[in-house]
Amino acid sequence: MWLRFGVTVFFILAIAAAVWDIVPWFEIQRWAVGEQRTFQNVMAGALRGIQAGNPQAVWTLCSATAAYGFFHALGPGHGKVLIGGASLASGATLKRLSILTFLSSLAQAATAIFLVGGLYFILQIGSADLTDLTETWLAPASYVAIAAIGAVLIFRGARCWYQISHVKQDTHGCCGHSHGPSFNDVATLTSTRDAVALIASIAIRPCTGALFVLVIAARFDAFAVGCLAVVAMGFGTAVFNQIVATSGVAARRLIGLGARDPKGMQAISATLHLIIGFMIIAISVGMLLP
């Protein structure tokens, strides 16, 4: 078993390293930063237009926030870690992952709207305190939740390996590749409970950019327009995360080509659970440290 485990881990990491090396991360990020700067300025212009009562400015603002959401998502962020990890490790279909991606981005926009709507309007909390609250409490809460999901993945991967090595009668699946009823129902992300956990852990923490758009819009007596713009931003982010999810599923299939039999596929899936689980924990703990 250990040999098989070692070979599987090596195989997966080798593919990951090869793919990582091909992508020109630095150039992509530089380009994204330039685009973000452009759209950030368009957003400012549109917000001033709204203040001046120009109806066209609403559409300019929404297009700019959507583009901002997309390019801002190109930087490192908590949602991608989870969406990417989930699409690699889980047995969920691309369609299901797409829905989850859009729901989590929209839920994140909703959090921003509720935060600003509730705290800023009702409790009269200033925007500086609002971002303070987000960064001091909500961001760490989100990372803790994400780390917990990583732990669940590790648990499921370990349990699956245990079953592979100890249960001799085959044909039963685990880790989302079950044909017929599985004995432990460990299919990651195929249950509603898993989906809700994933969406919630992303949505806890709103984007500071979204908070600022909302408070500025509120200052200009156009909170509703701000809400619309933030939803558009969520869609932009979702489109980018969609690319991440698609790559994740493609990578999972690519890795799956290495499996010679259903049992091999199970071993790969279990190993992916372990590797992704550890990666998610490492990254979220890294983000939590001061």
Partner 1 sequence: MLSAMCLGGVTKAHPHVFVDARTGFIFGSDKQLETIKISWRYDAFTTLVLFETLELDQDKDGQLNDADRVKILEGETNWPKDYKGDIYLEVLGHDYPLGRPEAAAVTLNANQIEVSFDLPLSQPVRVDSTPIFLRLYDPFFYFAYTIVSAKASPDLPEDCEAQIVLFEPTAAESVIQDKLAALGREDRPEIENVGRLFSDEVQLTCG
The binding site for partner 1 (CB under 8 A) comprises 24-27, 29-30, 32-33, 36-37, 40-41, 43-45, 47-48, 72, 74-77, 126-128, 131-132, 135-136, 139, 208-209, 212, 215-216, 219, 282-283, 286-287, 289-290
Residue 74 vs 109, nearer CB to partner 1: 74
Strands (E), 149-194: none
Residue 64 CA to residue 45 CA, distance in Å, equals 10
- CA atoms in the 13 A half-sphere facing the CB of 224: 0
* CB 290, min distance to partner 1, A: 7
Closer residue to partner 1, CB minimum distance, 116 or 153: 116
Q: Are 3 and 164 in contact (CB under 8 A)?
A: no
Q: How far apart are CA 115 and CA 134, in angstroms?
A: 9
As measured in angstroms, the least distance from the Cβ of 41 to partner 1 is 5
The least CB distance from residue 172 to partner 1, in Å, is 37
Q: Are 277 and 157 in contact (CB under 8 A)?
A: yes
Shortest gap between Cβ of 26 and partner 1 (angstroms)? 5
Judged by DSSP in three states, 242 sits in helix
Nearer to partner 1, 74 or 145 (CB): 74
- To partner 1, the closest distance from the beta carbon of 23 in angstroms equals 9
Give the angle 118-106-16 at the CA atoms, nearest 5°: 130
* C-beta of 100 vs 215, nearer to partner 1: 215
Query: What is the smallest separation between the CB atom of 14 and partner 1, expressed in angstroms?
Result: 17
Rounded CA-CA distance 268/10 in Å is 11
Residue with smaller CB distance to partner 1, 15 or 44? 44
Residues 230/109, Cβ–Cβ less than 8 Å: yes
The CA-atom distances, in angstroms, between 109 and each of 23, 86, 166, 203, 262 are 30, 21, 46, 8, 41
Q: Are 266 and 142 in contact (CB under 8 A)?
A: no
CB of 278 to partner 1, least distance (A): 13
Q: Which of 285, 250, 288, 273 is nearest to 8 (CA)?
A: 273
Sign of the dihedral defined by the CA atoms of residues 288, 71, 40, 31, in that order: positive
Query: Given the complex with partner 1, which of 40 and 184 has the nearer CB atom?
Result: 40
Name the minimum Å distance from CB 87 to partner 1. 20
Question: Would you say 50 or 164 has its CB closer to partner 1?
Answer: 50
Degrees, nearest 5: CA angle 1-183-167: 30
Q: Which is nearer to partner 1, 6 or 126 (CB)?
A: 126
